[in-house]
């Protein structure tokens, strides 16, 4: 890989009309910054990227360089950290109406309004912490694994995230053999901060059981989140219910 890349340029103006400035990025990749900056520059400008230093040298009129500096100052910020309150619930139509488990509290009435099941039992709930641009993995109960990447969705004034890829897996076990994780589903999930998202999954519409994921995403500023620590060490568990849907 070349240490630097000189982009094609047109002839420059008179020397007294131009200036040269070096911008060194601390948090974002200089290649991404170049894509953001290039539309702001004059036709006869030039950009030289130095990947090894994560820096760019820009030649343009002083007012254009000032504009580039302001844009990069807003762009080159530390990755945002988030917390995700997650509940995995087993839904069933094989129990009498009204026998709803007490573990999910007031969520039961809301779930009954969304799905055609009689009973909802909590498998596990947890608060996960992660950083944008990284993957987050966590084991829910004894049989399930939740995995998702965290990306800004580019809408809603910074309040929209895209969890992608987003996958829920289950351990399938045979007697005398270790369990193997198999994906139940994989998708991309848009989510809005501070709004509860409810996802339901079943084999088919006639199925008498289903899994339901309830997710609430919020801004977080914990030390673990800033370090991007995924998995069990970055999670706070609560009580468990029946782990076998």
| Beta pairing partners, 59 | 20, 46
- Residue 137 pLDDT grade (very low, low, confident, very high; cuts 50, 70, 90): very high
Query: 152 has which bridge partners?
Result: 161
Rounded to 5 degrees, φ, ψ at 14 are -60, 150
Q: What's residue 178's pLDDT? A: 67
* Rounded distance between C-alpha atoms, residue 28 and residue 44, angstroms: 26
Measured between alpha carbons, how far is 140 from 74 in angstroms, rounded to an integer?
Answer: 37
pLDDT, tens digit (0-9, with 9 covering 90-100), for 158-177: 788 999 999 999 988 777 66
Model confidence at 150, pLDDT cuts 50, 70, 90, reads: very high
Once rounded to an integer, what is the mean pLDDT over residues 104-117? Answer: 63
Residue 195 has what DSSP assignment?
S
How many contiguous H segments (helices) and E segments (strands) does the chain have? 4, 13
Element (H, E) at 226: helix 223-227
CA–CA dist 183, 26 (Å, integer): 37
- Please give the average per-residue pLDDT across 2-28, as a whole number: 67
Cis preceding linkage at 165, omega within 30: yes
Q: What's residue 225's pLDDT? A: 35
Confidence of residue 179 (pLDDT cuts 50, 70, 90): low
Residue 196 pairs with which residues in a beta bridge? 216
Average pLDDT of the residues in 36-46? 91
pLDDT band for 235, please (50, 70, 90 cuts).
very low
In this prediction, residue 109 carries a pLDDT of 61
CA 232 to chain centre: 17
Helix 30-37 with 62-75: angle, nearest 10 deg: 130
Q: How many whole angstroms separate alpha carbon 12 and alpha carbon 64? A: 14
Query: Which domains does the chain show, CATH number per domain?
Result: 14-75 (3.30.1370.120), 81-240 (no CATH)
- pTM comes to 0.63
Q: What is the pLDDT of residue 142?
A: 87
Query: Per-residue pLDDT tens for 111-132?
Result: 666 666 777 788 999 999 999 8
CA dihedral over 94, 99, 105, 107, signed as positive or negative: positive
Element (H, E) at 139: strand 135-140
């Amino acid at each position: 890989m070349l240490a630097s890349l000189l982009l094609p340029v047109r002839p420059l103006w008179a020397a007294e009309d131009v200036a040269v400035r070096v911008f060194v990025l601390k948090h974002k990749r200089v290649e991404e910054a170049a894509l953001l900056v290039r539309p702001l520059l004059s036709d006869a400008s030039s950009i030289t990227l130095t990947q090894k230093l994560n820096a760019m040298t820009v030649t343009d009129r002083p007012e254009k360089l000032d504009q580039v500096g302001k844009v990069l100052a807003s762009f080159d910020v530390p990755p945002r950290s988030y917390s995700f309150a997650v509940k995995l619930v087993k839904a069933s139509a094989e129990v009498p109406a009204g026998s709803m488990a007490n573990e999910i509290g007031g969520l039961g009435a809301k779930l009954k309004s969304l799905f055609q099941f009689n009973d909802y039992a909590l498998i596990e709930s947890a608060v996960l912490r992660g950083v944008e641009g990284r993957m987050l993995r966590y084991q829910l109960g004894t049989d399930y694994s939740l995995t998702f990447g965290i990306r800004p969705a580019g809408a809603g004034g910074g309040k929209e995230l895209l969890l992608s890829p987003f996958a829920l897996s289950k351990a399938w076990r045979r007697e005398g053999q270790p369990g193997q994780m198999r994906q139940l589903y994989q998708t991309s999930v848009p989510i809005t901060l501070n709004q509860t998202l409810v996802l339901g999954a079943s084999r088919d519409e006639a199925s008498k059981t289903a899994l339901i994921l309830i997710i609430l995403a919020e801004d977080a500023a914990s030390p673990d989140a800033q370090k991007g620590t995924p998995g069990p060490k970055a999670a706070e568990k609560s009580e468990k219910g029946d782990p076998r849907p």
